[in-house]
Amino acid sequence: MSVLDSIIEGVREDLASRRKPLAQIQEAIDRASAVRDPLPTMLSSNMSLIAEVKRSSPSKGSLATIADPAALAEQYAQAGATMISVLTERRRFGGSLEDLDAVRSRVDIPILRKDFMIDEYQFFEARAHEADVVLLIVAALGKNQLNDYLQLASELGMRALVEVHTHDELERALEISPEIIGVNSRNLKTLDVDTSAFAELIPRIPHTLVRVAESGISHRKDVDFAQNNGATAILVGEALVRAVDPATAVRELLGLDRLEQ
């Protein structure tokens, strides 16, 4: 069993324990605030940052305690992040829907629910908790699932970040006409990181789409490498949650510290 398979098995078990009647979830959706659409800002920006609230990971273990995820997200937003990514997977990443709720209560920019979306229920659940964007991992989904889930997210008013790691996955992603594609330099089946994936895959993504570089980004030189290969956004978690000053780290990654000098 690969790491990805193991994570998905846990996600299914946890989902079964918290599943509520869909009518109850729909009531929460009806009360939810309007979706905050990140697409206009991301399409008009040379480089956007998706800043992540992330306590731990399967590859590194514990990263940060994060006693107040809302305060961290607020720092990200004030420093220039375009979107906040909130891990909601519990077993390997230490996340929760409560973290998403806390962040939503404090920031007014779009929020990505970062989880392994393998069941329709999770999409209704995401919108009920006022997520604006969901993650679709091509390696975790079949062709029909990928297409159906993209359509479901759209019907609920949300955008989808479609994540790929290989040429084959990118071809599958492009078949469903996504608006945001993320190239993850981490192989979710082995957890190995190879940022050459940015150079191999991002140039193959149409320039009309938002092109996100994920994983392996810790310094401004990493951002420059991704951007030189066509990335228009980066998703960063570990480097930010481990930073002494997360707001300063956001500005450094975006090159805003250069403008202030």
The phi and psi torsions of 90 (rounded to 5 degrees) equal -90, -45
- Using N-to-C axis directions, what is the helix angle for 97-106 and 69-79, rounded to 10°? 50
Residue type, 245: D
Torsion of CA 170, 175, 181, 185, to 10 degrees: -10
Instruction: Report pLDDT for 260.
Output: 55
- How far apart, in whole angstroms, are the C-alpha atoms of residue 26 and residue 50? 28
**pLDDT tens over the chain, length 261 residues:** 799 999 999 999 999 999 999 999 999 999 999 999 999 999 999 999 999 999 999 999 999 999 999 999 999 999 999 999 999 999 999 999 999 999 999 999 999 999 999 999 999 999 999 999 999 999 999 999 999 999 999 999 999 999 999 999 999 999 999 999 999 999 999 999 999 999 999 999 999 999 999 999 999 999 999 999 999 999 999 999 999 999 999 999 999 876 554
Is residue 214 part of the annotated active site? The answer reads: yes
Catalytic annotation on 215? Answer: yes
The confidence score (pLDDT) of residue 203 equals 98
Catalytic residue at 163?
A: yes
Predicted TM-score (pTM) of the model is 0.96
184 catalytically annotated = yes
Catalytic residue at 114?
Answer: yes
Residue 2 designated active-site: no
Catalytic-residue membership of 57: no
Beta-carbon contacts of residue 44 (< 8 Å; ≥ 6 apart): none
Q: Among 125, 130, 214, 252, which one carries the catalytic annotation?
A: 214
What distance in Å separates the CA atoms of residue 67 and residue 123, rounded to the nearest whole number? Answer: 27
- Which of the following is catalytic: 48, 52, 130, 187? 52
pLDDT recorded at residue 252:
97
Query: What are the extents of the domains in the chain?
Result: 3-260
Q: What's the fold here for domain 3-260?
A: TIM Barrel (3.20.20)
In this prediction, residue 186 carries a pLDDT of 95
